[in-house]
Structure formats: structure tokens, C-alpha cells
Amino acid sequence: MIEAQADRATLGAMVQTAQDHLFVVDAAGRILDVSPGAATVYGMPREALCATTVQALQASGVLSPSVSLEVIRTGQPAQLMQRTGTGRQVIAEAHPVYVDGRLVRVISRSRDLTDLRLLQDEYALLQQRFTEHLKRHHEAPAETPVEAGELVVKSRLMREITQLLKRSAPTDATVLMLGESGVGKTAFARQLHRWSRRCDGAFVDVNCAAIPESLFESEMFGYQPGAFSGAARQGKAGLLEQAHDGTLFLDEIGELPLTMQSKLLKVIQDGSLTRLGDTRSRRVDFRLVVATNRDLARQVEEGAFRLDLYYRLNVIPVTLPPLRERREEIRGLAERQLERLNRRYGDDKMLHPRAWAELMSAEWPGNVRELENWLERAWLAAEGSVIGGPAGAEPGSAGVPPSQHPTEPASGALLGEGEGLKAALAAHERRILAQLAQTHGSTYALAERLGISQPSVVRKLKRYAITLGRERAES
């Protein structure tokens, strides 16, 4: 008797002191208790709310719709967006309470999305102040490259983002990568892992959109032998376990179904998981980095993304700009991709100057991924060692980037008698290198002047038997 009274008193105290707007409802929809803050949001005194039912509140528009009614109807937890009688928009979730297999109570809580918007505004202000602080105290001069591992970082904005990532790398704070598809979120996540104290651990890259919901648990959580038909005889460690002591990168996090979001949230909160078919939990310790091209805040408002998970993920948001807003990096990205292709296919092809001009002016709606794919197609389509050229290539072909058109007419006026394009370009390239080699004392300085990588300069100097001025003076 005393314990039952204590339980009721404890529940009452929790409801009375809750910051969220709590409702306790019985299986028939009668409201048994309401937290004090709910009166302001729903526009009715607490006493009036406790004297009615969720059915009546939904019919009168106070709850539109009622999340508790959804739980009573389905017997399952529910989350949805509500429009209240006071015109506010709140996100509400409710959970069933069973005794001996029978539904006896529904506990619901809601939060005014005004809180979310205020937090977003506050975080945006903090980011702005942090950026201004970097500019005043930490930003390198414009001509000094920022050490960024394998990343290409030229623009002022990207240097600021790189510095933010380097400063957050030693911590375990969750990073939320935002930006259009193809901007390089995975590459930045990998570099963040290399900078972190977990760099010796695994970097587990998971595309959430690529895992069917029916396979999510077995892939992410793993399973024990015999957990289901077709399970491997020895069982399997899931992707979450594989990321232990390393970094877990969840790409396309906005595509994750709500039911899967709740399972992921529990792992993040508890730091443990249970394999399918197992009874014991396993500790997991990883750095979480997530990425999306969706507006997660809007998804929260639409009820498609859990608010509590959003809070967990939105610790350090990093927005990567599209390639068209950082054109300074196009040349470096293209040079790096050409080096990869030359190594992969065992050749040493280069872009025609005209192709370079078109490359730099293209819009690249698919961003870095589209640029790299176009270069590979152009590399494979080029018959000689020069990619692209003035011979009237069609838009979208190997000669001209997509959505671009030739800006100059094809002409052979600069070719010598009997000279082909390849020989003319090679001669022109040699003249440029020979001239600049007189005034630049290192291959790094020459690479900076030409806008290409230092290894490319070394290969070209060797090909044309050109030595730098300093090397000639020393010999």
C-alpha cells in the first residue's frame, strides 16, 4: 500500500516538474494528469484538460491530431506533428504502458517547435562569432595553403571549415555534415577521422539509404548464430560494432525511417547494443559523424525525423558549399583526379587549355562527384595524350563539360606545316615550362605558378629535360 502511494507520488512529481508538456491518459482516452506547462501551449487550464478526453480535444481542434489516440488505435509508440488550439506547432510522441499484456496507460509528451527555432538561431549566432574569431586570430594568409591532408582547400570559406574540423577532431563531439549531393562530405569525414585520436581505429562508412529497412537491424547490430533463417553459422558483428574505437560515418542520415531512428538513438544514448538473437548487451565506443543533403530541421517539423535524435546529431554542424561557390578549387580537384587516372590506367594524359577554360566555368550541379566522373569519361574517350580540344566537341561529350558550349571557333592557324595538335601542345607546354624554370627556384613554386600539383611539375620537367635555374647554377 505504501509502495503504491509512493509510486503515485513519484509519478505526480515527475509530471508536475516536467519541462516537456506531459499527458497521462488511460486506455479509454480519459486524461488523468497533465503537466502545468501544457496549459499555455494547448490554451486550456490544467483542471479543464484533466476533466475531458483526448477524443473531445481532437474533435474541438485543441489537439490536431491526438498522438495518444494513435497509440490507443495501434498499440505502438507514435510520433507526429500537432497543431494546437492556440495556433502553435508542436512535435508530440506517445508510448503505451502495458500490464499483463493489456494496454492501461498512454504517456505522451510534446515540445513547442519554437524551442527548436530558438536553438537554431542561437547556434547560428555562435557559429558566426566563431568564424569571426577564426578570421581575427587563426586564419592563415590567403596565399598560404592550410594543411588539409588529401583535401583540396583553396577558398577562404573552405579554409575556415577545415580549421573548424581540425579543432573539433580531438574531441568526440558529433559532427553533422550538410550540403548538396557530391560536395565531398565523405572526403571531409575521412579527413576528420585521420586528424582524430581514433585515427588508428576503423572508419566505417554506412549509406543509410542503401540498407533496406528489413535488413537494418542485422546489418547495423549484427546477429548471433541461428538468429534467423539464412544467418551465417558463426554469426556476424554489425557495422556499429565494427566502428568500435573508430569513427562511424552515417551518410544520408535523413533517409533513415523513423523506426530505425529510435533504434539508433538508443545506441547513441546507452553506448551499447544487443545483437539479434542475443541476450547480452555489448559496449560500443565510436565517434559519430553523419551527413545529409536534406533539411533535417524541416523534416523534424514535418514529423519525418525525431526531434531528440536531431538534438543528438546537431552538435557541430558543418555546411560544405557547392563547387560553383568555390571555383578556386576546381583546378586542384581536377589535377588530383587526373593524377589518379594516370596512375590507374598507366598513362600521362593532360587537359587541353580550352578544356581547362570550360572546366573552370561549368556550373557542376553534381559538384565534386560530377567533376571527377566527367574527367574519367573524358580521359577514357581521349585517343591521344590530350583531353579535349578545339575541334568542336558537343556539350556533355569528352571535350566540353556538361551544360557548357564552346566559346571559341576551332582554328588550325597556330599549327606549323604538317604539325599535329599533340606536337603543337607539347611544344607550347615546353616553352612555358622552360621560361618559368628560369625564374622559379623550386618545383613547389613552379607548381603554384602553374596551378598544378608538384608531382605533375616534376614529371613534366623530366619529360622535356628542363632544369630549374637554381639547379643549373649549382651544377
CATH numbers and ranges of domains, the chain = 14-111 (3.30.450.20), 138-321 (3.40.50.300), 327-474 (1.10.8.60)
Contact 406, 359 (CB under 8 A): no
Bridging pattern class, strands 78-84 and 282-283: unpaired
Distance CA 246, CA 197 (A): 9
Cβ–Cβ under 8 Å, residues 64 and 90: no
pLDDT per position as a tens digit, 344-385: 888 888 888 888 888 888 889 899 999 999 999 888 888 888
What the block records as the C-alpha cell of 146 is 592550410
Mean pLDDT of the chain: 80
End-to-end Cα distance, the chain: 100
pLDDT at 398 over 60: no
Average pLDDT over residues 153-163: 85
Which is higher by pLDDT, 33 or 11?
33
Instruction: Give me 444's grid cell.
Output: 613547389
Q: How many CB atoms lie within 10 A of CB 293?
A: 17
Q: Where are the beta strands (DSSP E) in 6-132?
A: 21-26, 31-34, 63-64, 78-84, 89-99, 102-112
Phi, psi of 382 (to 5 degrees): -70, 130
Contacts of 77 (CB under 8 A, 6+ apart): 71, 93, 94, 95, 96, 262
Confirm if 165 and 149 have CB atoms less than 8 A apart. Answer: no
Confidence bin at 407 (pLDDT 50/70/90): very low
pTM above 0.75, yes or no: no
Cell of 334: 581536377
State the pLDDT confidence band at 422, using cuts at 50, 70 and 90: confident
Q: Which segment of 142-156, 269-283, 398-412 scores lowest on mean pLDDT?
A: 398-412
Check pLDDT > 50 for residue 247: yes
More confident residue, 275 or 19: 275
Burial class (CB in 10 A: 0-12, 13-18, 19+), 154: buried
Main-chain dihedrals φ then ψ at residue 427, nearest 5 degrees: -65, -40
Between residues 419 and 96, the one the model is more confident about: 96
How confident is the model at residue 123, as a pLDDT?
Answer: 55
Q: Cα(224)–Cα(234) distance, rounded to whole angstroms?
A: 7
